[in-house]
Structure 1
Amino acid sequence: MGEHIVLVYLVVCFFVFLAGFVDSIAGGGGLISLPAYMIVGLPVHTAIATNKISSSMGTAVSSFYYLRQGFMKWKICAPSIVAAFIGSALGAKITLMIDEKVLKIAMLIVLPIILFYVLRSKALQENPDYEVVDKVTPNLIMKCIVIAFAVGIYDGIYGPGTGTFLMLLFTAFCHLSLHDAAGTTKAINLTTNISALAVFLFNGAAYIPLGLAAGCCNMIGNYLGSHCFTSNGSKIVKPIIVVVIVIFFIKVLTELIG
């Protein structure tokens, strides 16, 4: 039993470290970390809740880095954070009311959609084929609020791909620069993680020791990844995410069939 626990910690910590590295560059680290918790045998609700512990710790590191770099425009971030907090808390309450089997079926539907967006996403392009917006207008702020609230609900319910979705929407729909989109994404993602985590902890859904251990590894990954953001580190992100999504999809499908 002891050897099994050690293996669980080693597997989860390795993949959560990798998730932190990926997440700090382009978002989507949850596409690696959540499958890791489920692959070692944690129930869906426990896996989602525990993942929020490590994600919150890691995202805090990269968020601080982006804040220091001046990538967060607070006219956009402040109202978006409020919307994301409300949306994520609502989503977390919803997921606790959903049966585990229903969640797995939902994953089989969501994962191919996420994979499609990851493959087609322009969020990682340094030179997008549209004009980047520099001026913060009321219309831009409203777009960001709506995005933050909607994605916040998704993050509370499920989570993986949140950062990628935010990067995609902020760059392609709001036309923010890559750096502004990354900064805003980190501010919102940290908020949604903390908001959902508070709900999960209140309901006793998380496996705290494993979450804290993995969180330390996630922090290291986020620290290293955030410093690679301007060094073409994004080139390795998509292949890693695609491989993990495919493995995760096969595992969930096998469990449902079995």
Structure 2
Amino acid sequence: MSKLSLIFLCFLVFVAGFVDASAGGGGLISLPAYFFTGMPAHLALGCNKFSGFCGGVFSVMKFWRGGAVRLRAALVAAAGSFIGSVGGSMTALVLPEHVIKTMVLTILPCAAAIILLKREMGDEDRSRSLGRGKADALSLAIGLLIGFYDGVFGPGTGTFAIMAFSALMGFDLRTASGNAKILNLASNAASAITFAAAGNILYGIALPAALCGIAGNFAGAHMALTKGSKFIRPMMLCVLALLMLKILWDLLS
């Protein structure tokens, strides 16, 4: 890989980290960036998961220090996500790809409409009134749903997780984003270990990209924590629009 290509890749991974830390969906930017360099798909996936995991660690740390993580809810959701992802993966094996993408394309405008119409969603924390049992049940349900989506399709998982934590549990968008990062971190960790064990990570490329991803995640998390819903909400809409364009491109090409 040329130095210019590596610089371009690192810049896009930085942007992806910034977007992912604030609103989820960074993989919509970083994975195509790796493919753009011309590396084989399995190496691109491995490098992307590695840089995503490294950036995610620092993003979680930033949200944790900012008091924007509800650990119990995040861990319960993570357990549900593991189960849901298994079911989603099994579903993906039997459903045609165009059917899956058409279903997701139908969901996206609905998700965007919720963000636009429910302007108060995520402005304030409304979760304190939830009892522990109800909170655990909702966390598990969120994990199952998000895990299922991740197993079936994947892109935009973090954005949908933020929406779910905010809409169903009443978290403000900062806390919802912090909890979503833990779900993503667990998923990326498992994937990164799998790709590393198979020798599918080019560390000469993945390490500098990961450093840029860490910087992007740190900056994005800082903006999310300081600006709150006024920053996170428009970023989420941008991610949903980008995901919609990607699916339309895939279906039409």
Listed as ranges, the matches of 1:128-207 within 5 Å are 128=121, 132-135=126-129, 136-155=131-150, 159-207=154-202
Instruction: Output the TM-score relative to the length of structure 2.
Output: 0.77
CA distance in 1, matches of 2:116, 2:143: 16
Match of 2:205 in 1: 210
Alpha-carbon spacing, 1:114–1:17, altered in 2? closer, same or farther (3 Å): farther
TM-score by length of 1: 0.75
Q: In 2 relative to 1, CA 245–7 (structure 1 residues): closer, same or farther, beyond 3 Å?
A: farther
- Report matched runs for 1:106-121 at 5 Å: 108-109=101-102, 112-113=105-106, 115-116=108-109, 119-121=112-114
- Mapped to 1, the partners of 2:25 and 2:56 lie a distance apart of 11
Q: Are 2:58 and 1:61 aligned?
A: yes
- Alignment pair present for 1:241 and 2:236: no
The whole-number CA distance in structure 1 between the counterparts of 2:202 and 2:100 is: 21
Q: 52-61 or 155-164, which moves further after superposition?
A: 155-164
> Residues 199-225 of structure 1: CA distance to partner in whole angstroms, max 9, x if unpaired?
232334444433322211111011111
Cross-structure match for 1:38? 35
Aligned to 2:80: 83
Aligned mates of 2:153, 2:42 — CA distance in 1: 9
1:26 aligns with 2:23: yes
Contact 2:25/2:155, CA 8 A, preserved across alignment: yes
Paired position in structure 1 for 2:217: 222
Offset of residue 241 of structure 1? 3.2
The one-letter code of the counterpart of 1:48 is: L
**Counterpart amino acid of 1:127?**
E
Residue 117 of structure 1 and its aligned partner are, at CA, apart by: 5.5
2:231 maps to a residue whose letter is G
Equivalent pair of 1:156/1:196 in contact (CA under 8 Å): no
The answer on 1:52 being equivalent to 2:45 is no
Q: CA deviation at 1:63?
A: 0.6
Distance 1:44 1:250, change over 3 A: farther
Identity of aligned residues (%): 30
Partners of 2:205 and 2:138 lie apart in 1 by 37
Cα deviations across residues 133-165 of structure 1 (Å, max 9, x unaligned)?
214421221221232244235446653211101
In structure 2, stretches of 5+ residues that fail to align are none
Distance in 2 (CA, whole Å) between partners of 1:249 and 1:225 is 25
Number of residues of Structure 1 aligned to a counterpart in Structure 2: 246
Contact 1:85 1:191 in 2 (8 A): no
RMSD over equivalenced CA pairs, Å: 3.7
